[in-house]
Amino acid sequence: MKIIFYIAIALLTLSTITRQIQSERTDSAFDIQKFSELPVQVGGRIKPLDSVARNTLMILSGRQYTITPEGTKISSIQWFIDLCMQPELADTYRIFKIEFPDELGLEGLEAKSKRYYSYNDLQPYFEEIQTLYQNLEPEAKKRNAYERQIAEIHNGLLLYNASLQSLHPTGNAERLNRLIDEYQSYESIINQGLDAIKKQQNGEAFDKTLLDRFIAYGDNYLNLSKTARLRIIPPETADQTADQDAALNDLSDWKNVGLELLDVMKGERLSPVLKHYAQLTMAYRSDNAEAFNQGVDAIHKSFKKDFPKAESRVQFERWFNGFKPFALSIQLYVFAFFLLAISWLKWGITLNRTAFWLLTLAFLIHTFGLIARMYIQGRPPVTNLYSSAVFVGWGAVFLGLFIEKIYKNGIGGAMASLIGFATLIIAHHLAMTGDTLEMMRAVLDSNFWLATHVIIITFGYSAMFLAGALAIAFILMALLSKKFDKDKARSLSNMVYGITCFAALFSLVGTILGGIWADQSWGRFWGWDPKENGALMIVIMGAIVLHARWGGICQERGIMLLAILGNIVTAWSWFGTNLLGVGLHSYGFTDSGFFWMLLFALGQLFVIVLGLLPWRYWASPFALSKTEKIKRSEHPKEH
Amino acid sequence: MHPILKFFSSLRLTVVLLSLSLVLIFFGTLDQVEFGIWETQKRYFESFLVVWSYPLSAPAGDALQWIKLPMPGGYLIGGMLLINLLAAHATRFKLTWKKSGLFCIHIGLILLLISELLTDIVSVESQMSVDEGSKSNYSETILDNEFVLIDRSNPQLDRVHAIPSSLLKKGKRIKIPDTELSLKTLDYFPNASLNRAPQDAPDTSPKKPQIANKGLVERIDLQVTPLAPQYAEDAINTATAYIQIIDKNEKALGTWLVSNVIDERFPPQILAAGNKSYEIALRFKRYYHPFQIELIDFKHDKYPGTEIPFNFSSEVYIKDPKGAVKQKALIYMNHPLRYGGLTFYQASFANNDQTSIFQVVKNPGWLLPYISVLLMGLGMCFQFGMHFIKFLQKSRTR
C-alpha cells in the first residue's frame, strides 16, 4: 500500500517536472531554438535573443507568451521573430496590456478588445496618447494610477517600435524581401555618394539622383541608429592585430544596426552578421527553412570564435529561461504544503516523510536557480529587489528544512513551503519590469560586500519571516486545534525562539557589515538612511523578543505575538523603506508595492488581534491549561 | 535592592526602551520624506524629545494634520539605555564563562552608543570639488554658511576672517576678530530669493526700501523675499543677510547685502576701511586644509549601451602648500583616501565629467564602531553558538 502511494507521488512530481521542461517545444523546420540563442548586447550585458524576447513581452503584456488572432498560443521568441520579420502579422497580435481602458478617455478603444490590444488597435489613438503623455506630471514617482497607465502605454509603444527595428531596417513587404539588395546597393554607391557631396560643396557638377539616393540612405540609417534597441553587431577582431591591448571582453561596445550601416561610410567593412540577419528575415518570409538555419549557424560560428566564454553562458541562459526553475519550485512547494496539511489529518508519518523529500527536491531546484543566476551574472545571488525575494524564500526554506529534520512534526516544513511559495510569487511579480539580471551601479559594485553584507541581511529577513510564520501557526493551532497540547506548544515556542536568535544574529552582523561598507564608501558608519533604519529595526525587534523572554515579561503567547509583529517590521525594512524613495539605498522602487505592503501588515495585525482574545475562546488543551491556571490563582483556597 | 536601582536595572525597562526606539526609528524614517535625512536626524536622533505630526502631503493630510505624537528622542532613549545597561551590569550580572558572550555584546553596545554620540558631536562632513588639472585646499558644506572678510593684500596668501552664520542674529553686534572693525546684522534670512526690483514699479506693489547701500546693490537694485528653509536631500538654502560694518571710531562704513548666491560669478564686494580693503561675502562654510589636492584625471565609465555607471574614479596628487608632491592616490567607489586625519570619498561629479566632488569627512572616532561591532559580533556568535550546540545535543539525545 505504502509503495503504491510513494509511486503515485513520484509520478505526479515527475509529470510536473516534464511538463515544465517540455512546455515550449516547437516542431517547425526553422531552428527557432538556435535562433533564440543568438547573442545581443543590451542593458550592458551580452544575452540571448530569447531573454530579450521574454523580457520585452513581459513588460508589454505581463506574460511570456501571446495569442494570435487565430487563437494559437505562441512563445515569446516566436512573437519576436514575427515582430522583426513579419511586422504586418505582429501588428495584429494583442500584446499591449491595458488594465482599465475605459479610464483613458480614448473613445472606442474599450469596444475593440478586453485587456489586451494590438498595435493596430492602438494606431488610431497615437496622437491622442502622445498629447496625454506630454501633459503628464514629469516626475514619474509622483504620478497617480491613471497617469502611470498613460506613461506605460506610451513607453510600451516606444519599446515596441524600438524592438521592431532591432535586426534590420523595417518597412513594407517589398523592402523586407530585398534587404540584401538594399545593403549591396548602399555599399556600392558609398564612394560615389561621398564624392558627390564633396563636389557639391566645391560647386562642381555632380550626379543629383545618386546623391539624393545616398542621402536618403544616410538619413534613414541615422534615424535607425537612434531608435534600434538591440546591439546585435559584435566588435570585429580579425584584422586588429596591431591593437592587442584592446582585447575583446564583455564590456567592449557592440553596435546596433543603424550605427553599423553608418560606419560603412567611414570605410569600415559591413559586418557579415548584419548580412546574415537580413538573410534570416528574407528566408523566413519566403518560408525557406534551410537558408534560415544556415544564417543562424553562421552567426553562431563567428560569435563562438570571438567570445568563447560568453557563447556558452548565453546558451545556458537560454536553457535556463526555458527551464524556469523557480516556477517549478513554486508548484512543488504548494504540493509539499498540501501533503503536510493532509498529514495532520491522516496518514501522518508516510505523508510527512514524502512531503519532506518533496520539499527537499523543491529546495534543490530553487538552489539550482540561484546558482544558475550567479553564473550568468557573475555576481553573488542578491543584487536587486527581485533576487532578494528569491533569496529570502530560499533562506526560509533552508531553515525550515533544518527544523523539520529535527522536529519532524510538519510545522516547520509547512511554514517553509508557504514562505518559499509566497516569496517566489513576489519575485515573479517583481520581474514584470524587465531584465532581472541588470547591471550593478558603481557604488554597489563590490562582490565582497554583496557576498557578505547583503547575503547576511537577507538571510536575517528569511529567519524573521520563518519565526513569524511559525508564530502564526502557533496562534492558529492554539486557537483551533484540539490536539495542540502543552508539549507541542513548548516545542513550537522553542523553534520560534531559536529562529529568532538566528534572525537577531544575522540582522546584527549584516547591519554591522553594512555600517562598515557605508564607512568605506560614504564616510559615514551610520547615516540614518531608511534602509539602514529598517535593518536596525529588525535587530531591535529581535532584541525585544529575546529580552522579553529572558526577563519572563512575556509568556509563550506574548513571544508569538511579538514574532508576528516582527513580520511587519521585516516587510517594512525589506519593501516599505524602498517605497519612501529617499536615501542612498532606494534603488528598487516598486509601484503597487504600497498596497500589498499595507494588506500584509493588516493581515498580520489581524492574527495579532486573534492572539489577544481571552483564553476562554481558545479550543486547544494548551489554552485550557492556561485558563485552569488562572482559575487556580483566582480561587487559591479551593485547592 | 533599592527600588530606584531596581527600576533602572530591570529588563522590563530594557524592553520598554527598545520598543520606544523602534517607534522612534520608524517615525524618524517616515519623516525623511518631509524633511530630508539631515533635518530628520537632528530632530529625531540628536534630541531629547520630538513631536511627529501627520504630514500634510500624505493621504487625507488636510483632515488629519491635527494628529500629533510626542516621543522621546534619540539622546533620551540612548542615554536611558546606557544607564539601564550599566545599572544591570552593576547589580544583576555576574561575569561567568556562560555569560561572557552577553558581556561582550553589551560592552560593544555601550561603545557603539558612545561612538555614535561622539560622531554627532565631533565629526565634520564637507565637500571638496576639484576640476581636472587644478587643485584645491578647502572643502565646503552647503548645510552651513559663514560671513567672511578676505584680506588679499598679501600676494602669497589670503587672510580670511570668518564668522559663522549662527552668530548673525538680527540687531546683534559682533567684533570681527583680528581687525578693528565690528559688524551689525540688520537682518538675516536662512533662506530667501533675490530678485531685481521691478524697474518701473507700479504703485500697486509697494517697493520695499533698499536697506543696503554698498557693494552689488549700487549697480543692481536687489530685493530680498524671505523663504521657508528647505530640507529636501539636495536642497540648497540661499542664506542672505544685511550686514552693516562699523569701524573703530563707531563710524558706519555702509551696509552690504550678502548672500551665498552672490558668489564668484559676481564681482567681489569690496569694503574699504582706512588704508585696508577687504572682500566681503556670505558663503558656504569652508574648511581649509594644510595641503592641496590636485585632480589629475576623473573617470566615469558606463556599461556599454546604458547609462548605468560601473566606475567613478579620481586620480589625485596630494601636495603640500609649496607644491611638493606628498602622495599620489586613486580614489574610487568603496576605496577612500585617508590623509591628515581626513577621509576623502568619491561622492559625485559635475561639469561634464571634468570636475570631481569628494566627500571629506573628519571623524576622529571612526575606529570605535569597528571595535564595538567586533565585540558584539563575537559575543553574539559565542552566545548563540553555545545555545545552538546545546540545542543540537539535546535534540540528538531525544
Q: Which of B102, B303, B344 to mutate to test the interface with A (most CBs of A within 10 A)?
A: B303
Q: Which residue of B has its CA nearest to A516?
A: B370
Which residues of chain B lie closer than 8 angstroms to A569, CB-CB? 22
**CB atoms closer than 10 angstroms to residue B14:** 22
* Residue B184, C-alpha cell as written in the block: 551689525
The span from the CA of B206 to the CA of B197, in Å, is 11
> What pLDDT was estimated at residue A624?
82
> What pLDDT was estimated at residue A244?
42
Would the CB atoms of A512 and B377 count as touching at under 8 Å? Answer: yes
| A264 has a pLDDT exceeding 90 | no
| A245 has a pLDDT exceeding 50 | no
Inform me whether the C-beta atom of residue B311 falls under 8 Å from chain A C-beta atoms: yes
From residue A315, alpha-carbon distances to A50, A51, B34, B58 in Å are: 10, 11, 49, 49
Q: How confident is the model at residue A114 (pLDDT cuts 50, 70, 90)?
A: confident
Inform me whether the C-beta atom of residue B312 falls under 8 Å from chain A C-beta atoms: yes
> What pLDDT was estimated at residue A542?
92
Pairs across A and B, CB distance < 8 A: 163
First to last CA, chain A: 52
Backbone φ/ψ region at B274: left (φ over 0), alpha (ψ -120 to 50), beta: left
Would the CB atoms of B40 and A528 count as touching at under 8 Å? Answer: yes
* Residue A598, C-alpha cell as written in the block: 499595507
**Interfacial B residues in 269-308 facing A (CB < 8 Å):** 302-306, 308
* Residue A519, C-alpha cell as written in the block: 564607512
Count, residues in chain B: 398
Largest CA distance in chain A: 123
pLDDT in tens, A5-48: 777 777 777 777 777 666 555 567 888 888 888 898 888 888 89
The span from the CA of B382 to the CA of B36, in Å, is 39
The span from the CA of A254 to the CA of B161, in Å, is 56
Q: How confident is the model at residue A583 (pLDDT cuts 50, 70, 90)?
A: very low
A28 three-class SS: coil
> What pLDDT was estimated at residue A582?
53
User: Any idea which residue has 497617480 for its cell?
Assistant: A144
> What pLDDT was estimated at residue A586?
43
Render the burial of B135-152: b for 16+ CB within 10 Å, e for the rest. bbeebbbeebbbbbbbbe
Would the CB atoms of A533 and B41 count as touching at under 8 Å? Answer: no
Q: Which of B13, B20, B27, B29 to mutate to test the interface with A (most CBs of A within 10 A)?
A: B29
Would the CB atoms of B29 and A577 count as touching at under 8 Å? Answer: yes
- Higher-confidence residue of B177 and A476: namely A476
**Amino acid identity of A76?**
S
Would the CB atoms of A522 and B304 count as touching at under 8 Å? Answer: no
Min Cα distance B306 → chain A (Å) is 6
Choose among B28, B305, B387: nearest Cβ to A42. B305
Would the CB atoms of B18 and A544 count as touching at under 8 Å? Answer: yes
Q: Which residue of B has its CA nearest to A446?
A: B334
Would the CB atoms of A44 and B308 count as touching at under 8 Å? Answer: yes
Which residues of chain A lie closer than 8 angstroms to B41, CB-CB? 528
Q: Are A278 and A272 in contact (CB under 8 A)?
A: no
Would the CB atoms of B333 and A446 count as touching at under 8 Å? Answer: yes
Q: How confident is the model at residue A587 (pLDDT cuts 50, 70, 90)?
A: very low
| A590 has a pLDDT exceeding 50 | no
* Residue B124, C-alpha cell as written in the block: 565634520
Would the CB atoms of A582 and B336 count as touching at under 8 Å? Answer: no
Choose among B25, B125, B305: nearest Cβ to A533. B25
Secondary structure string (H, E, C) spanning A55-69: HHHHHHHCCCEEECC
Percent of chain A having pLDDT more than 90? 17
pLDDT in tens, B70-128: 999 999 999 999 999 889 888 877 777 778 888 888 899 888 888 888 887 888 888 89
* Residue A53, C-alpha cell as written in the block: 524576447
Q: Are A265 and A190 in contact (CB under 8 A)?
A: yes
Render the burial of B164-188: b for 16+ CB within 10 Å, e for the rest. ebeebeeeeeeebeebebebbbbbb
Inform me whether the C-beta atom of residue A307 falls under 8 Å from chain B C-beta atoms: no
Enumerate domains of chain A plus CATH numbers.
48-164 (no CATH), 173-239+249-314 (no CATH), 325-435 (1.20.120), 473-626 (no CATH)
| Nearest C-alpha neighbor of A560 from the set A572, A548, A551, A573 | A548
**Average pLDDT of span A518-526:** 78
Q: Are A561 and A612 in contact (CB under 8 A)?
A: yes
pTM of the model: 0.82
Secondary structure string (H, E, C) spanning chain B: CCHHHHHHHCHHHHHHHHHHHHHHHHHHHHCHHHHHHHHHHHHHHCCCEEEEECCCCCCCHHHHCCCEEEEECHHHHHHHHHHHHHHHHHHCCCCCHHHHHHHHHHHHHHHHHHHHHHHHHHCEEEEEEEEECCEEEEEEEEEEEEEEEEECCCCCCCEEEEEEHHHCCCCCEEECCCCCCEEEEEEEECCEEEEECCCCCCCCCCCCCCCCCEHHHHCCCEEEEECCCCCCCCCCCCCEEEEEEECCCCCEEEEEEEECCCCCCCCCEEEEECCEEEEEEEEEEEEEEEEEEEEEEEEEEECCCCCCEEEEEEEEEEECCCCCEEEEEEEECCECEEECCEEEEEEEEECCCCEEEEEEEECCCCHHHHHHHHHHHHHHHHHHHHHHHHHHHHHHHC
Min Cα distance A488 → chain B (Å) is 15
Would the CB atoms of B11 and A553 count as touching at under 8 Å? Answer: yes
Q: Are B288 and B139 in contact (CB under 8 A)?
A: no
| Nearest C-alpha neighbor of B72 from the set B43, B50, B46, B39 | B50
> What pLDDT was estimated at residue B18?
94
> What pLDDT was estimated at residue A516?
84
**Average pLDDT of span A595-618:** 90
